[in-house]
A and B are shown apart, each in its own frame.
Chain A
Amino acid sequence: MIEIKNVTKKFGRKKVLKDVSFTAKKGEITCLIGINGVGKTTIMKAIMALTPINSGEILIDGEKIHKGSYEKITFIPDTITMLPQMQIRDAFVFMADFYDCWNQGRATELLQFFKLKETDRISELSKGNTAKVNLILGLAMDVDYVLMDEPFSGIDIFSREQIADVFTSHLIEDRGVIITTHEINDIEHLIDKVVLLDNGVVLKEFDAEEVREKEGKSVIDVMREVYKA
């Protein structure tokens, strides 16, 4: 489980996270929802210790993040971090050099799934295909937790469907996933848990099926209530 406890983060004087707490379980897909600039990406970076926090605590399976944690949790940012002149296979080699948990078999499988070629050059990929390669780089690691920052943004509908397919396959099963998005439509049926953020604050944290069952509301209904209140 990933536990975010009372996390506060400031950029200069500006408080971007104000006493943020929520949890994300292994085997579940947790979705952080909020418009741009509410702190979704900052939370992910804080979990990965890519940005320092001012107060609070973040635990991964009960321990603070340390060097070994990067074999257990990975972050897929919304832009690709590989050099543009690399071919996809070069990026794979780079990952294999860096991480013990890199699973080349799975990378190859994902490449076929997305119908990409390992000789494709990163700089020559379309936006959608770049996002797919980025996703492969994260999902081909044998980690327990995957954080994905806006995997659907700016991508055509068919690529979105393809990416959503990944969520229901063995490539995700049993892992803990945190995903940020502002377009919930495509994945409403896929997620277990929703965390609604606004202005650095968690407004509501709920189980999607439970809200449907007990209140007869869709995730979007709840969002409307919370954000328009």
Chain B
Amino acid sequence: MDVKFNNRDPVYVQVIRQFKEQIATGYFEPGQEIPSRRELANQLKINPNTAQRAYKEMEEQGLIFTEGKLPSRITKDEQVLKMVREELILEAVDTFVHSVRSINVPVQEALNLVKNKYDREMN
């Protein structure tokens, strides 16, 4: 995991986002074991307290779970996993819509451009 953090968003929020992306893309599978807080801090070069906070938050959101003293794992809850993916897609769409609207692009034109770009990148 190699992440470039920005300096203005809370680091723990950026860590959670990173996890969500990796869940959505399937890098993390449901039920997969994740690094310990200390390992994560060391991998990402962040403060162990921040790693701790990110994990706590993710537990509360149901993204990860911990049974007893065992390492934490990615949730197996289909509903949550689906929501993570949807959340990321909606966020990306929001950003896109926001920036094309600011230059007054009609929706059909924008959609065509998106489709063409997609087709080109797929090939």
Contact = CB atoms under 8 A, between A and B. Distances in A.
Interface of A: 27-29, 164-165, 167-170, 173, 188-192, 209, 212-213, 216-221
Contacts of B53: 209
A139 to B, nearest CB: 15
A152 B56 CA distance: 32
16 contacts: A27-B49, A164-B45, A167-B47, A168-B45, A168-B48, A173-B38, A173-B48, A189-B11, A189-B47, A209-B10, A209-B11, A212-B11, A213-B13, A217-B8, A218-B7, A221-B7
Q: Is the interface of A mostly helix, strand, loop or mixed?
A: loop
A105 B103 CA distance: 63
A218 B8 contact: yes
B7 A188 contact: yes
A193 B122 CA distance: 47
Contacts, number: 55
- The main secondary structure of chain B at its interface with chain A is helix
Contacts of A217: 8
Contacts of B8: 212, 216-218, 221
A78 B44 CA distance: 27
Given A168-B44, A192-B47, 16 more contacts: A27-B49, A164-B45, A168-B41, A173-B48, A188-B7, A189-B7, A189-B11, A191-B47, A192-B49, A209-B10, A209-B12, A212-B8, A213-B10, A216-B8, A218-B7, A221-B8
Contact of A165 (B11, B42, B50): B42
Interface in B10-56: 10-13, 38, 41-42, 44-50, 53
Nearest to A188: B7
